[in-house]
A and B are shown apart, each in its own frame.
Chain A
Amino acid sequence: MGLLALFRRTPPTANVAKERLRIIVAQERSARGGPDYLPLLRRELLEVIKKYVNVDPEAVQVNLEREDGHEVLELSVALPGGKRL
């Protein structure tokens, strides 16, 4: 690091990389090895919800988590502001 480097400002980005990777890796790991029906389940749930509320396709998250001994199917639906299901 020379004298000039003290005045040059490159924002450190390693932390950004780490955070982004932590999220995407966790997401991809949870999808991996899970049952094949998850994407279909997600799509059908979305269809049902859409009958009542106009939600974004991204708004439905289906995750399967393994906790010692049992599996938890976690379903999360983000509703558009103000509306109720």
Chain B
Amino acid sequence: MTEIIVVTSGKGGVGKTTTSASISCGLARRGKKVAVIDFDIGLRNLDLIMGCERRVVYDFVNVIQGDCTLKQALIKDKRIETLYVLAASQTRDKDALSSEGVRRVLDELTAEGFDYVICDSPAGIEKGAHLAMYFADRAVVVVNPEVSSVRDSDRILGLLASKTQRAEKGNGGVKEHLLLTRYSPKRVATGEMMSVTDVKDILGLDVIGVVPESTDVLSASNAGVPVILNEESDASRAYDDAVARLLGESLPMRFVEEPKKGFFARMFGG
């Protein structure tokens, strides 16, 4: 059984590609066969985050238009045996993606025995975002604890509940999860930032992970190594927990509270 997971958010810059990269690495690291697809036609970026930008020969649109086979376009990850990347096209023609074409690619990945296909959605609610979510079985909605991100996420939840194949067929709909990123327990503690519970209450969804704000995320994208692979990082641990929860494990949420500080640290900052 192939499970198709869309990583989406509505708003841009909240961490969809970072999340797609880390979740696909995390699943593949646990022995699953994973393909991660960049749906952001015209603005290819997943390849950079995955560190395979110089190995892109064929892209998603090439496959759809029959310029090459799917096998030729899938870029095999050099770190994890069972992980493959399908890059977005750099074409400016937004109509290059067709529903039929996307379906064909997903069917072929299913036939090839992939366990998971991660669809990295573009921002917005246009065609690319629509097609990224249309065939999904599950959705990871990436949200920052910030007003515009939360509102846009709710809009995306509305679309997931109506404009997807599962919603149209009425077979249970898409299973939705929230993933909070750029979370700062310190600012939550001082009342400057909405908490996990606040966001969860407003959107009424289960939270599958909370990734703390971390300088490691920028270093990871600088280096083209998904942050989950940086074992030293809290962001890595948080993503790995989220992957475990996707696979059905139940784990306590980490990094949601500020670590307790001693007297001196409190008085003199740290």
Contact = CB atoms under 8 A, between A and B. Distances in A.
A3 B270 CA distance: 11
Given A1-B266, A14-B198, A21-B202, A29 B154 contact: yes
A33 B198 CA distance: 25
Contact of B192 (A14, A21, A33): A14
A33 B158 contact: yes
Q: Main secondary structure on chain A at its contact with chain B?
A: helix
B217 to A, nearest CB: 22
A13 interface: yes
B1 interface: no
Interface string B163-201: 000000000000000000000001010111111001001
Contacts of A18: 194, 198, 201-202
B191 A25 contact: no
B69 to A, nearest CB: 41
A76 interface: no
A17 B151 CA distance: 11
Contact of B190 (A12, A20, A22, A32): A12
Interface in A10-47: 10, 12-15, 17-18, 20-22, 24-25, 28-29, 32-33
A2 B268 contact: yes
B155 A28 contact: yes
Nearest to A33: B162
B194 A25 contact: no
A21 B150 contact: yes
Nearest to A31: B158
Residue with the highest number of chain B CB atoms closer than 10 Å, among A12, A14, A15, A33: A14
B162 A14 contact: no
Q: Main secondary structure on chain B at its contact with chain A?
A: helix
A28 B191 contact: no
A85 to B, nearest CB: 35
B192 A13 contact: yes
Given A2-B267, A2-B268, A21-B147, A12 B192 contact: yes
A21 B151 contact: yes
Given A12-B190, A14-B188, A24 B151 contact: yes
Nearest to B190: A12
Contacts of A21: 147, 150-151, 202
B191 A14 contact: yes
A54 B158 CA distance: 36
Contacts of A1: 186, 190, 266, 269
Residue with the highest number of chain A CB atoms closer than 10 Å, among B162, B190, B195: B190
B253 interface: no
B203 interface: yes
21 contacts: A1-B266, A3-B268, A3-B269, A5-B269, A10-B192, A12-B192, A13-B191, A13-B192, A14-B191, A14-B195, A14-B198, A15-B191, A17-B146, A17-B194, A17-B198, A18-B198, A18-B201, A18-B202, A29-B154, A29-B158, A33-B158
Interface of A: 1-3, 5, 10, 12-15, 17-18, 20-22, 24-25, 28-29, 32-33
Given A25-B151, A33-B161, 5 more contacts: A1-B266, A3-B267, A3-B269, A12-B192, A29-B158
Query: What 5 A-B pairs are tightest by C-beta distance, nearest first?
Result: A12-B191, A2-B269, A18-B198, A32-B158, A14-B194
